[in-house]
Structure 1
Amino acid sequence: MHRRAFCSAAAFGGLSALAGCSAVPPVPTERSIAGRRPVGTVTLAEEFIAGAGAGNGTLSFRGRSYPFRMAGTVVGPGGAARIQASGDVYGLTRIEDFAGIYTQGTGDRGLDTRRTDELWLQNAAGVIMHLRGTQMGVVLSLGRDELLIEMTGR
């Protein structure tokens, strides 16, 4: 089975281990986008239960909207939370580069009960998302999250 297809099937089939599916992209920060302009925006909603999550979102890029679905993991025991976020996309030149595994390693370790949050995510193609959102619930994390995004239509 093709590696990308296997990773996709595993993540959306309920397995919560995305880490072995690809090389780990660098962890982005505010310095990663210094001097760059956003090329698109994204909105998403995700629900986490016991360290695994799933949700949907929309990418706005070059005047078009692209729906996607996602599956995510929290490295640590997890929890139960509903997250809604939106933000800017950087480094995207082709729509094909948006899908993939995004890594976020700048989160806090421990029990996260914040109502608002800021996330920096990056995939292996160099696409960076800077998201701001709200969280309802509690998540116990070791400070590293992964999110698999698949486009659902064009």
Structure 2
Amino acid sequence: MMIAGLMLAPTTAYAGQGKISMELLKAAFVVGGTGGKGTLTFDGKTYPLRIGGLSAGWQISLSKANLQGAVKNINQPSDIIGVYSAAGAGLAIAAGAKTAVMINDKGVTLELIGTQMGVDASLNLEGLSIKMR
């Protein structure tokens, strides 16, 4: 009877994890734009990404960021596609560290860390759009 119960028990599906790296350029004065490229590594394969975005709020920026990190709650490579949003505040002059956690509508979570060079003073809402190339 125990064996039958184990065979009938529902199996739990676990979402996978991947890695992401991206290079972003940002220019802003009140309204800003971000553009860049990146790479998703998932299940031993690499997928090129295109990244764009808009931000609005109090900000002045001309910066470049190199970020890398974990991609969580991903089941297939196309799950990375979507709009990721975050609210934030920051100040960077010259070079400094940058971190971000962003989630898209499919529940895919990006946990990013890296460096930023340039000037970036902001209190804003920001969104990044990630597409596969």
Please classify the TM superposition score into its range, dividing by the shorter chain length.
Answer: 0.7 to 0.9
Question: What letter is aligned with 1:43?
Answer: S
Match of 2:83 in 1: 101
TM-score, normalised via structure 1 length: 0.68
**1:96 offset after TM fit, Å?**
1.8
Write the mapping of 1:70-149 to structure 2, written as runs, cut at 5 A.
70-76=51-57, 77-105=59-87, 107-108=88-89, 111-113=91-93, 115-149=96-130
Q: Which protein shows a greater Rg? A: 2
**1:97 offset after TM fit, Å?**
1.3
Could you say which structure has the higher helix fraction? 1
**1:72 offset after TM fit, Å?**
1.7
| 8 Å Cα contact 2:15-2:75 kept in structure 1 | no
Alpha-carbon distance in structure 2 between the residues aligned to 1:38 and 1:133: 23
Alpha-carbon distance in structure 2 between the residues aligned to 1:121 and 1:81: 19
Q: Deviations over 1:7-38 (max 9, x none)?
A: xxxxxxxxxxxxxxxxxxxxxxxxxxxxx997
Alpha-carbon distance in structure 1 between the residues aligned to 2:26 and 2:125: 14
TM-score, normalised via structure 2 length: 0.78
Identity of aligned residues (%): 31
State the number of aligned residues. 115
Note closer, same or farther for the CA distance 1:115–1:41 as it changes in structure 2 (3 Å cut): same
Alpha-carbon distance in structure 1 between the residues aligned to 2:122 and 2:56: 6
Alpha-carbon distance in structure 1 between the residues aligned to 2:56 and 2:114: 20
Runs of 4+ deviating beyond 6 Å: none
